[in-house]
Structure 1
Amino acid sequence: MAYREESYIGNGKIWMRRRGSADPFREVGNCSALTLGVTTEESSLPNYRGGGGEANKRERITAVALSVTAHDFNAENIAVGLRGDVSAVASGTEASEVHPGANSGLIRTNKLIDTSQPVTVTGPSASPSHTLGTDFNVSAAGIEVIEGGAITDAADVEITYESVATDVVDALMNSGEENEIVFDGLNEAQSGAPVVVDVWRAKAGAAEELALIGDEYGALTLPYAVLLDTAKEAAGESGYFRVHKKVLS
């Protein structure tokens, strides 16, 4: 067969779902890297008969790893990286939410405040009424008490506000779910020739960090251990992953 140049520049979409689910795959989002790696363990028999070198060598595969670098910080991706659970909280009116008073600092509300809507802060039983800009300011996290204002440590405050709908990720709630992963890719070096990869069992690990302050666009690295699927192996297929690529002409 004559030589055919097949260089590669890849991009595409990454899809995943919980292993064993009949649900459609969800798109992970904008990802700058997808890497599969194989770790091996070597055992070598030296040549003792003179001249050095090796008389024999064994190489055993010990692990298969997958890493995704995602740039969409949606709740599902954060939950994967933090081994968390996702729950949805609806928006609504939070009436007379009671918190201990403070003469400075942040009073954290139970839900996120819709800062585009009015917020009322009073003492117990709606008296006295505190003034925005004089006694407090408002952020999504709660009420920022202005030092020297009328809010003190002596009494509770009642806060009435409109809350925004939120996705809540409770971190470190599970041992990492198993996913099926599909890479629906294109080789830009070959006029967009398709490259599709199926990973049967990918067990999520914990992200090393969740960087929340910075000057650059954030990146969330999602590590996976690729585990053996014995059913695929019994069917004569790879028990780990499979690569499909278009035959180039």
Structure 2
Amino acid sequence: MTYQPQYYLGQGKTFFGLRDANGNPKSLRWLGDVDEAKITFKTNKVERKESWSGERGKSMSLVLDKEANLDLTLMDFSPENVSQVIFGKSSLIANGTVTGEVLPSGLVSGDRIALKYPQVSAVTITDSSATPVTLNPSKYDVEAVYGAVTIKDATGLTEPLKVAYTHGGVNSISIFSKIPDDVYFRYEGINLAQGGAPIIVELYRLKTEPLKELALITEKQGDMKISAEVLIDSTKPADGEMGRFGRILQVSTA
């Protein structure tokens, strides 16, 4: 029989999905552009070296447990991806109007204050006197996109100052505000070294780790490197063809 080597060079799509009560994946969410995806495997063993031959040869090697981890490098900073890696909640804050937002006391020329919301317009600042005085717009600067106000002159005004404004909608992603769910992983790839042959990899139950680093200022394109531990899935039978951790499907196109 002629030997036909099967090489591998892969690209494809990666998906996360929540699991139902039976361990089956619900709707799958594409993670977008992923620069790297790899699974690492490890076994822990107990070993014995014999004591009778003078060679101290290894006479027993017994696998006690098996471990696997998934490592991903995400390039897509979507709200869903970011919330996944920082254990947060993603929510859309609708546009709205704010009145009477109190600014810090003791303001002097040059002080910069961040408002509660970004993307602001129609900013008006008044003081706290019995008959509130409206601060002339020439006495403060507004960075509308970031929602920040820089005071240029607050002399003669009764503090605290209060600000009213309108703001646009914004995605808000909280940090460490959610206990992460176990997730199902699916890779739908093509083997470029085999003419684009399809390949599917499923990992039934993952527990993700939080993002180790989020580079805010960098000279290269940002990414998010995350790891996930592959856990045993008790909903799968021990002797089933799917296994209890995951499986690799080499899809025939013949």
TM-score category (smaller protein): 0.7 to 0.9
- Aligned with 1:188 (options 189, 192, 202): 192
Tell me the secondary structure at the aligned position of residue 40 of structure 1.
strand
More deviation, 191-200/58-67: 58-67
Determine whether 1:129 maps to 2:135. yes
Per the TM alignment, residue 154 of structure 1 is displaced from its structure 2 partner at its CA by: 5.5
1:28 aligns with: 31
CA distance in 2, matches of 1:9, 1:120: 59
Render the CA deviation track for 1:163-207: whole Å, top value 9, x for unaligned: 222222211123322111111111122221111111111112111
Cα distance, 1:25 vs. partner?
1.0
**2:73: which partner in 1?**
69
Instruction: Report whether the alignment pairs 1:110 with 2:113.
Output: no
Match of 2:251 in 1: 246
Q: Which residue does the alignment assign to 2:59? A: 55
Distance, in Å, in 1 between the alignment partners of 2:3 and 2:161 is 78
Q: How does 1:185-224 map to 2 (within 5 A)?
A: 185-224=189-228
In structure 1, the residue matched to 2:12 is 12
Query: For the Cα contact (< 8 Å) 2:127–2:157, is it kept in 1?
Result: no
| 1:38 aligns to 2:41 (yes or no) | yes
Post-superposition CA distance 1:205-245 (Å, at most 9, x none): 11111111111111101211111111223461211111111
| Higher alpha-carbon deviation: 19-28 or 8-17 | 19-28
CA RMSD of aligned residues (A): 2.6
Q: What aligned pairs does 1:228-243 form with structure 2 within 5 A after superposition?
A: 228-234=232-238, 236=240, 237-243=242-248
Question: Aligned residues: percent identity?
Answer: 23
Secondary structure of the 1:172 match is coil
1:99-124 per-position Cα deviation (integer Å, ceiling 9, x unaligned):
2252233322122224xx44333434
Gapped regions of structure 1 (runs ≥ 5): none
CA distance in 1, matches of 2:169, 2:14: 27
Residues 152 and 53 of structure 1: is their aligned pair in 2 closer, same or farther, counting only changes over 3 Å? Answer: farther
Q: Distance in 1 between matches of 2:9 and 2:111?
A: 51
On the 8 A contact 1:106/1:142 being kept in 2, the answer is no
Letter in 1 for 2:140: D
Report the Cα distance in structure 2 between the residues aligned to 1:150 and 1:8, rounded to whole angstroms.
68
Using a 3 Å threshold, how does the CA distance of structure 1 residues 199 and 105 change in structure 2: closer, same or farther?
farther
1:106–1:145 Cα contact (<8 Å) kept: yes
Q: What is the TM-score when the length of structure 2 is the normalising length?
A: 0.84
Contact 1:195 1:245 in 2 (8 A): yes
- Shift in alpha-carbon separation, 1:92–1:12, aligned structure 2, 3 A: same
Whole-angstrom distance in 2 between the partners of 1:153 and 1:174 = 44
SS of residue matched to 1:76: helix
Does structure 2 conserve the Cα–Cα contact (< 8 Å) formed by 1:145 and 1:151? Answer: no
Q: After the TM superposition, list the runs of 4 or more consecutive aligned residues in structure 1 that deviate by more than 4 angstroms.
A: 151-154
Contact 1:80–1:222 (CA<8 Å) still a contact in 2? no
Evaluate the alpha carbon distance shift between residue 245 and residue 193 of structure 1 in structure 2; reply closer, same or farther with a 3 A threshold: same
Q: In 1, Cα distance between the equivalents of 2:252 and 2:76?
A: 32
Native 8 Å contact 2:127 2:158 kept in 1: no
How big is the shift at 1:151?
6.9
Distance in 1, Cα, partners of 2:181 & 2:30: 17
245 and 218 in structure 1: CA distance in 2 versus 1, 3 angstrom threshold: same
